[in-house]
Amino acid sequence: MLLVLSAIAPASAAVGAASAQTADALDCEFPYTGTDATGTDVTVSEEPERVVTLSPSAAQTMWEVGGSEKVVGVSQFAGYLDGAGDLPVALSGYPATVNTEKVIELQPDLVLAPNTIDNESVQKIRGAGITVYRFELADSVDSVTEKTELVGELTGECSGAEQVVSGMEERVNTIETAVEGEEKPTVYWGTEAGYTAGPNTFIGKAIAKAGGHNIAADADASAPYPQLTAEFIAAQDPDFVVVSVSPERMGNESKSYIPKGSVIRNTTAYEEGNIVVVNTNNLSQPAPRVVTPMTTFAQAFHPEAYADANTTTTTQTTSEPTATTSDQTSEATTADTTTSNGDTPGFGAPVALVAVLAAALIARR
């Protein structure tokens, strides 16, 4: 016992210090005032009892911090969250459009809007006397933790936000420790038509944080979601291929997600079975659950290093199951087993959806 306690004490102290820092930073007293992405000083006069979330990432954050019972309206892509499918839909379509009349009809105390909501819709809702907070773009894990803390402050869920952020930071620290100094395997994420996430996108940064080298970084492309040619993908010959699927499609043999005739079948990744399948709701949305696919990436890209880094935390919390590419249930958690009403285009997706990949990914945020 003494040996175990002496081994984990420094790590526990570090986690405790991080939690204390988070707790000091959060302010759950009302009225609360903060400046949003429109440059407006938004004041929430008292703790909200009715909240409308106009993005699945905001909804996921509310679920994670313990504020799901306050949510009275969601976007069409939030249906994978437990109970969200029964709530009124206030945003839908491609590109996503706000049903301002529905939002006003729901009489929320607060509306959480993503950066993709146009100012006209925001102003129309504000014109009805409803408080709207429009978020900045969350394009990294750090910005997700900041957004989680902000949601906690805006909605009076600071305690839950502190716990979520502490858990996220612990898992991210384990990942960073594991991949530091390791050689980065090449990685491809994308659709059958070649659309991929560039290095400066949320998905691209998640791959990099987990110790992978996104082959899109080597392409001569300026678009955030460029289309790579089959010849380029074949020439790069990625060591790993990441496939995003909806939760109900997970659990199959990893190679089955790659259609016949795909250039991926000629890569090292396919030959060696290095197909990493993750829940698209966790990867494509800048929200707390992104640490789950990131953990899966680190386990797949650097299994031994991750196991070594994770040793110091297994005595404190239940560790993630060891990631494999042949048994993709390794990422499954309670959150991953819920169903989804929407799916980010991936391998085998209808061709009609490929053209709206970028719009769909942004809308889901």
Q: How confident is the model over 74-110, as pLDDT tens digits?
A: 999 999 999 999 999 999 998 889 999 999 999 999 9
| Separation between Cα atoms, residue 155 and residue 145, nearest integer Å | 16
Hey, what are 162's tokens? Answer: 């502190």
Q: Provide the 10 A C-beta neighbour count for residue 326.
A: 11
Buried b (16+ CB within 10 A) or exposed e, 168-196: bbbbbbbbebbbeeeebbbbbbbbbbbbb
Closest-CA residue to 269 (of 171, 168, 185, 358): 185
- Omega before 108 within 30 of 0, i.e. cis: no
With beta carbons less than 8 A apart as the criterion, state whether 46 and 54 touch: no
Q: Is the pLDDT of residue 355 over 80?
A: no
Instruction: Specify the pLDDT at position 339.
Output: 36
CATH number assigned to the domain covering 27-163: 3.40.50.1980
* pLDDT for position 308: 94
Place of tokens 């061709």: 351
Rg of the chain over CA atoms, in angstroms?
21
Average predicted confidence (pLDDT) for the chain: 83
pTM value surpassing 0.95 = no
Residue 76 · residue 92 · CB < 8 Å? yes
Residue 132 confidence (pLDDT): 98
State the span(s) of the chain assigned CATH 3.40.50.1980.
27-163, 183-364
C-alpha distance from residue 291 to each of 90, 124, 140, 166, 172 (Å): 28, 35, 11, 12, 7
> Hey, what CATH topology would domain 183-364 get?
Rossmann fold (3.40.50)
- Note the pLDDT of residue 313: 54
Pairing type for strands 41-44 and 32-35 reads antiparallel
Q: Which helix (H) or strand (E) holds 361?
A: helix 357-364
Query: How far, in Å, CA of 254 to CA of 136, rounded?
Result: 36
Asked if residues 59 and 84 have their Cβ atoms less than 8 Å apart, the reply is: yes
